[in-house]
């Protein structure tokens, strides 16, 4: 099973590459499979490739839900 979270595109690089950020971690990924991506967009990333763009409101809801789950599972 694969779990993919929305990642924020922070920078467009040459050769269909981009930098994305998720939870404070920055990674360089390929944009070869998607088009019309710009900084500020959210994408779903799997094995280093952006698979699709995600609506920003849905991305924020998903990230908030995962943050809430992580907080609930944290030891007190």
pLDDT in tens, 36-68: 999 999 999 988 999 999 999 999 998 898 888
Torsion of Cα atoms, 58 then 64 then 67 then 69, to 10° = -80
**Tokens standing for 5?**
């979270």
| pTM of the model as a whole | 0.85
CATH code of the region 6-73: 2.30.30.140
| pLDDT per residue as tens digits for the range 2-46 | 677 899 999 999 999 999 998 899 999 999 999 999 999 999 998
Residue 76 confidence (pLDDT) above 70: no
Select from 2, 4, 3, 5 the least CA-distant residue to 60. Answer: 5
Measured between alpha carbons, how far is 64 from 70 in angstroms, rounded to an integer? Answer: 10
Rounded CA gap, 21 and 34, in Å? 17
- What is the share, in percent, of the chain residues with pLDDT greater than 70? 92
């Amino acid at each position: 099973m694969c779990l993919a979270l929305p990642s924020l595109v922070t920078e467009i690089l040459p050769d269909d590459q981009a930098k994305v950020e998720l939870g404070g971690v920055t990674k360089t990924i390929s944009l070869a499979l998607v088009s019309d991506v710009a900084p500020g967009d959210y994408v779903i990333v799997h094995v280093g490739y952006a698979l699709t763009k995600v609506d920003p409101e849905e991305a924020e809801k998903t990230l908030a839900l995962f943050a809430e789950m992580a907080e609930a599972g944290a030891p007190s």
